[in-house]
Copies of this chain bind each other. A is one copy, B any other.
Amino acid sequence: MKILYGIGTGPGDAELLTLKAVKTIERSDVIFAPNNKGKNMALDTAKEYVKDKRIVLIDFPMGAVTKKDYEEAARIINREIPKDGQGAFLTIGDPMIYSTFIYLMEEIERKSLGIQVNIIPGIPSFVAAAAAAKLPLTVKGDNFLLCDEFNGDLLKNINSISILKSLRGKEEIQNKLEKEKFDYTYVRRISLEEEGIMKDREKILSDRNYMSLILARKTKEEE
């Protein structure tokens, strides 16, 4: 039987790969990654370990992926993994968190192609961001919410939040967080060269990087 590993490569720093990710890549016959104009961030992260490997880039048209694209991706993967061989599909962050791999896995399992899918978790961006900014995500009794589309109602009942892809509507997010008394920090390109951690409202507003997220925490009442 063929095996496909969905591998989370973490936020981008090669040192945040797990030992299991490295070992599984090294044992794979073929490496798959989404094609972003001939390159891919997950592939960059793992470049030291994929350099002697056969690499197959798969097209997932940005923002407009259709069922057909997943069918075609599954077909390519099935064709490229040798009989009884193993492939590795690399994905930034973690494969089960806002990832293209989820739909691909579902497509492969629905089709009963005879490919066993296994998943190797990766460090999610918001976890790496909290570490770099030294901001607790949760302490005992806390609720933490993760979202990629913000609305103010989400702040009810929670102590801590991470908003991914915060580029759109950033000012509105900031206004709402301030109104509801959340302290917030903006993290750009976590673990990468241009990493930035900002707390200043105007600096945050003027940053336009797509790879950014917000961590926020209900302000502690004075004791």
Q: Which residues of A contact B (CB under 8 A)?
A: 8, 10, 13-20, 22-23, 94-98, 102-103, 105, 117, 119-124, 127-128, 130-132, 134-149, 153-154, 156-158
Contact = CB atoms under 8 A, between A and B. Distances in A.
B154 A134 contact: no
Contacts of A19: 14-19, 22
Contacts of A158: 145
A143 B145 contact: yes
Number of copies: 2
Given A138-B146, A143-B146, A143-B147, A127 B94 contact: yes
A117 B131 CA distance: 11
A186 B23 CA distance: 28
A103 to B, nearest CB: 8
Contacts of A145: 143-146, 158
A13 B120 CA distance: 12
A8 B146 CA distance: 20
A149 B158 CA distance: 12
Contacts of A121: 16, 123, 127-128, 130-131
Given A119-B132, A148-B142, A137 B20 contact: no
B143 A98 contact: no
A167 B154 CA distance: 27
Contact of A157 (B15, B20, B154): B154
